[in-house]
Amino acid sequence: METIDKIKQQISENPILLFMKGSPKLPSCGFSSQASQALMSCGEKFAFVDILQNPDIRAELPKFANWPTFPQLWIDGELVGGCDIIIEMFQQGELQTLIKETAEKYPAAE
């Protein structure tokens, strides 16, 4: 499977998806740590891809997304943004609403 196709599949199969360095429980960079903490604080399940374990995705996703940095949060197939945007949305209460609405829309998503 081509890397871009793999990325598209991951985005389409996971309504709430964080491309990050490391995992939410063991992040490998400060920005990924802050982003995953904000997401975990929203109380809904989300998927993640550790780009350090997937160098092909790490190389191709910035071109596909037209977004140069990680982490990248994708909700409902749309790129929301990186760490700064995630934290800002969280502080304003927007992230919690978006995550909750998305989780309710896809009750089967685990």
Please tell me the class of the 3-105 domain.
alpha beta
**Maximum distance among all alpha carbons in the chain?**
39
Whole-model pTM? 0.95
CB 35 within 8 A of CB 18: yes
What ranges make up the beta strands (E) of 51-89? 72-75, 78-81
Q: State yes or no: pLDDT of 110 exceeds 70.
A: no
Give the whole-angstrom CA distance, residue 88 versus residue 99. Answer: 14
Q: Is 21 helix (H, G, I), strand (E, B) or coil?
A: coil
Q: State yes or no: pLDDT of 109 exceeds 60.
A: no
> How does residue 54 score in pLDDT terms, banded at 50, 70 and 90?
very high
User: What ranges do the domains of the chain cover?
Assistant: 3-105
Average pLDDT over residues 49-68: 97
> How does residue 1 score in pLDDT terms, banded at 50, 70 and 90?
confident
